[in-house]
Amino acid sequence: MPRRPGAIQSLELTESLLLSDPDGTIKKMQQLQRVGVSFALDDFGTGYSSLSYLKVLPLDTLKIDIAFVRDLNLGMQATPIAATIITLAESLGLRVIAEGVETNEQRLVLARLGCHIYQGFLFGRPGTASAFSSVLLEGDAAEHASLPLPGQVVP
């Protein structure tokens, strides 16, 4: 599928995928990256995530886990951890996405920390595969609606 201008298209990798076969995963990622696929490390900072992954994986994006987003500004350590992930991503030239953004307050805190890409219920609810297909088809129809049909004369 061709990239749409301004769209961020990437595959999200989980830690469990990386742990099962790191060398094989890296080789496959590099092959896919050569044809334009980008990668995001999902749930960064949870589980057994290692900073050493950041040295060897061809990543484009780090994702701030919902566990940190949910606890922003609650007197817990989530805010400085989110800020650190954002700073780390920026210093490595990576995009950063916050997942699980459900309130405007969370979005505002993240924006103040320097994160400007969000996923979560604040922006939309999960949908079915058929609903997603319909949106894509409608987008393609709208995108091509201004194109002339074969044989059509454009003034």
- Is 3 contained in some domain? no
Q: Considering the domain boundaries, does residue 153 fall inside one? A: no
> For 98, which DSSP code?
E
Q: Take residue 35 and report the two structure tokens written for it.
A: 């044809």
Count how many domains the chain has.
1
**What is the per-residue pLDDT for 64?**
92
The strand order across the sheet containing 117-118 reads 10-13, 38-44, 61-64, 95-98, 117-118
Spatial contact of 8 and 95, defined as CB atoms under 8 Å apart: yes
Instruction: Provide the residue range defining the domain that includes 55.
Output: 10-145
* CATH code for the domain in which residue 82 is found: 3.20.20.450
Q: What is the pLDDT of residues 61-77, one digit of tens each?
A: 999 999 899 999 776 78
DSSP E strand boundaries for the chain = 10-13, 38-44, 61-64, 95-98, 117-118
15 catalytic per annotation: no
Given the residues 99, 102, 105, 138, select the one marked as catalytic: 99
pTM passes above 0.85: no
